Amino acid sequence: MDYTIKIGGQAGQGLQTIGAVLAKLFARSGFHVFTHQDYMSRIRGGHNFYQVRFADREISASRKVVDILVALDKNTVAEHLGELSPVGLVVYDSETVREKYDGENLLDIPFRQIAMDAAGNRIMENTVAVGAMLGMLGMDLETLDELLTETFARKGREVVDQNLAAAKAGADFARGNCGQCNFSVNIPGLTAAQEKEAAAGVSRAAPKRMLMDGTSAVGLGALAGGCRFYAAYPMTPSTGVMNFMAAQSGRHSLIVEQAEDEIAAINMAIGASYAGVRSMTGTAGGGFALMVEGLSLAGMTETPVVIFVGQRPAPATGFPTRTEQADLLYILHAAHGEFPRVIMAPGNPEQAYYLTGKAFDLAEKYQVPAFIISDQYLADTEWTLDALDPAKIIYQDYRLRAGELAKLADYQRHAYTDTGVSPLAEPGASHHLVVTDSDEHDEDGHLVEDAETRVRMVEKRLLKKQPLIRDQISPPLLHGDKKPETVIVGWGSTYGVIKEAVDRLGEKHSIAMLHFSEIYPFPGTGKFDYLEVLRQAKFTVCVENNATSQFARLMRAETGFVFSKLVTKFDGRPYLLEELLDELGEHDV
């Protein structure tokens, strides 16, 4: 089974609530879930949707076809009716939508009236809708009960009971009035023995799954990586990380400061890091433009800092709430002068969690800026995961604190060393002074003008460190055939859709995905000769959510490899599974 529910309507109508509850409910019931959102840059009105796909096997992208379309307004019916699958149905409330539709596959459910009748409050209409979905799918309300109890616990039992009554009434109505409903939902993930037991009514111990979006995963990875200070200025699609961190700041040793602008934000992150705490800033492409001078300050002063960039389709203000992967080369080349940097581009929440943690470790270990690149698609998509293991994130304090400093006779912030990494001391923790400068400086950190020191500092800061950092970068992930005739290459947030497309095509073809999530320093071939895989393939395709195939250009610059085919998409929307299959199908893979 593999169903998609799409909830469409205007901003402010509560479609996000319905989508979020359904997604969590399916995840808790043991299904694999994938959701994605599409919204306009406005708080009320317009046309938005939330798409929830759930299945009894692994999924990692959104599909074009919709099985249940919940229309909270007329526009949703007009826009998406054509997406219905053969068993697909539209569900709407003719009172809210102000239209009565004819047709077998359009089901009028009076959400508002049912809410009034069952709970005496029209505000419960969205809960009625959730109940109706479960009724149509033939699912029970046990897990919903659990969820509502948790969600509304603080509001008291009465609110929980009202919501439950509303959900039940919605489910009952749907069961009684949906002759057209033809959905078959299995309790997923059970072994044959468990299924027998389930059939006998003995147990229904489906495995619970985590449901996580990219934004939360970055925040959680930052926490696990020891982030203590986050400074930012709000900008879509990076604001979610700021809000996530702010919500944590009451519970953990973490300060979140909303800066007056992005220039202040990165300078604050650098200041806090200089003072001895791990720090981070986050922004979107336009805000990052303002941070660029600060980036080179981090490079010059060798101050560790993690920078989260949520790409948006730009130039200028661009397409604020849409998705694109068009800032890779910009982030790689931003800032004047030459210094090392680390770039991570996670492809799903799991990678976002571990790679954010790794970004902190590399930033601290090598005293360099480290980036996490995301986009609206990764930020908002929710995925089911079995578990995340915080122990897999390395946390080691590389800084010199009071104890170690007391033992030192001398200290120089920018001392020459074999690795180029100088000891990084906490200012004020001893009588040793910590001096650094945005001007070219000597080992003490004081400004200099001489050529000899300049050369030695560039060797130390850049040439010695860069190869050591490259050794820490993991090779790209090969998924599918180990000796593929066709290789589909991607980076960052296209991971899921490429993976699912490759799984689909792999049933008949020799094909694999090669996905890059640790992008810079560009991975070497020592651990895994991915270049050989590409060279042996008959057909290589690079899929990117941008107009100029930036990664393909980077690949050529770093390795000389040229792809046989470039696939691009730059309409501000993510690749849907069928779209990518169409693109690849043209070439007889």
Six token digits for residue 372 = 């996490």
Q: Which of 56, 161, 172, 437 binds another protein (CB under 8 A)?
A: 437
276 makes contact with another protein (CB under 8 A): yes
DSSP codes, 158-213: HHHHHHHHHHHHHHHHHHHH-TT-----PPTT--HHHHHHHHTTS---PPP-EEEE
Q: Which of 42, 57, 157, 446 binds another protein (CB under 8 A)?
A: 446
Number of residues that bind another protein (CB under 8 A): 66
427 makes contact with another protein (CB under 8 A): yes
Q: Looking at beta carbons only, is 131 or 357 nearer to another protein?
A: 357
Q: Looking at beta carbons only, is 224 or 554 nearer to another protein?
A: 224
Of 528, 588, 516, 502, nearest to 554 by C-alpha is 516
Between CA 217 and CA 588 the distance in angstroms is 37
Between CA 559 and CA 342 the distance in angstroms is 18
Q: Looking at beta carbons only, is 322 or 432 nearer to another protein?
A: 432
In the complex, minimum distance from the CB of residue 415 to another protein, in angstroms, rounded to a whole number? 16
297 makes contact with another protein (CB under 8 A): yes
Q: Which of 29, 301, 374, 546 binds another protein (CB under 8 A)?
A: 301
Q: Which of 340, 369, 420, 445 binds another protein (CB under 8 A)?
A: 445
Q: Looking at beta carbons only, is 381 or 540 nearer to another protein?
A: 381
Q: Hey, which residues between 25 and 44 contact another protein (CB under 8 A)? A: 28
Residues composing the chain = 589
> Helix, strand, or coil here: 69?
strand
Between CA 361 and CA 368 the distance in angstroms is 10
534: left (phi over 0), alpha (psi -120 to 50) or beta: alpha
In the complex, minimum distance from the CB of residue 157 to another protein, in angstroms, rounded to a whole number? 22
In the complex, minimum distance from the CB of residue 195 to another protein, in angstroms, rounded to a whole number? 23
Six token digits for residue 304 = 């560790």
In the complex, minimum distance from the CB of residue 254 to another protein, in angstroms, rounded to a whole number? 7
Binding mask 189-208 for another protein (x = CB under 8 A): -------------------x
In the complex, minimum distance from the CB of residue 153 to another protein, in angstroms, rounded to a whole number? 13
Q: Which of 53, 432, 465, 573 binds another protein (CB under 8 A)?
A: 432
263 makes contact with another protein (CB under 8 A): yes
Q: Which of 189, 282, 294, 523 binds another protein (CB under 8 A)?
A: 294
Q: Which of 210, 289, 314, 566 binds another protein (CB under 8 A)?
A: 210
Which residue stretches of 473-560 are H helix? 495-506, 530-536, 550-559
Q: Which of 14, 46, 271, 524 binds another protein (CB under 8 A)?
A: 271
Q: Which of 435, 468, 478, 531 binds another protein (CB under 8 A)?
A: 435
277 makes contact with another protein (CB under 8 A): yes
Residue 29 φ then ψ, to 5°: -80, -5
Pairing of strands 229-232, 279-284: parallel
434 makes contact with another protein (CB under 8 A): yes
Q: Which of 180, 253, 525, 536 binds another protein (CB under 8 A)?
A: 253
Between CA 71 and CA 85 the distance in angstroms is 16
Residue 241 · residue 221 · CB < 8 Å:
no
Bridge partners (DSSP) listed for residue 344? 372, 518
Q: Looking at beta carbons only, is 83 or 293 nearer to another protein?
A: 293
Between CA 76 and CA 78 the distance in angstroms is 5
Between CA 431 and CA 467 the distance in angstroms is 34
Residue 468 · residue 420 · CB < 8 Å:
yes
431 makes contact with another protein (CB under 8 A): yes
Distance from CA of residue 168 to its chain's centroid? Answer: 34
430 makes contact with another protein (CB under 8 A): yes
In the complex, minimum distance from the CB of residue 118 to another protein, in angstroms, rounded to a whole number? 29
Q: Hey, which residues between 106 and 135 contact another protein (CB under 8 A)? A: none
Residue 44 · residue 17 · CB < 8 Å:
no
The CB density around residue 193, as the number of other CB atoms within 10 Å, is: 9
Interface region with another protein, contact rule CB under 8 A, candidates 48-56, 104-112, 189-197, 428-436? 428-436
Of 103, 81, 18, 79, nearest to 52 by C-alpha is 18
Distance from CA of residue 30 to its chain's centroid? Answer: 21
348 makes contact with another protein (CB under 8 A): no
Of 1, 141, 122, nearest to 67 by C-alpha is 1
572 makes contact with another protein (CB under 8 A): no
Q: Which of 261, 450, 471, 532 binds another protein (CB under 8 A)?
A: 261
Binding mask 213-252 for another protein (x = CB under 8 A): ---x---x--xx-x-xx-x----------------xxx-x
378 makes contact with another protein (CB under 8 A): no
Between CA 9 and CA 19 the distance in angstroms is 12
Six token digits for residue 366 = 């090598």
Residues contributing to the site for another protein (CB under 8 A): 28, 208-212, 216, 220, 223-224, 226, 228-229, 231, 248-250, 252-255, 257, 259-261, 263-265, 267-272, 274-277, 279, 293-294, 297, 301, 385, 387-388, 390, 393, 395, 397, 426-428, 430-439, 445-447
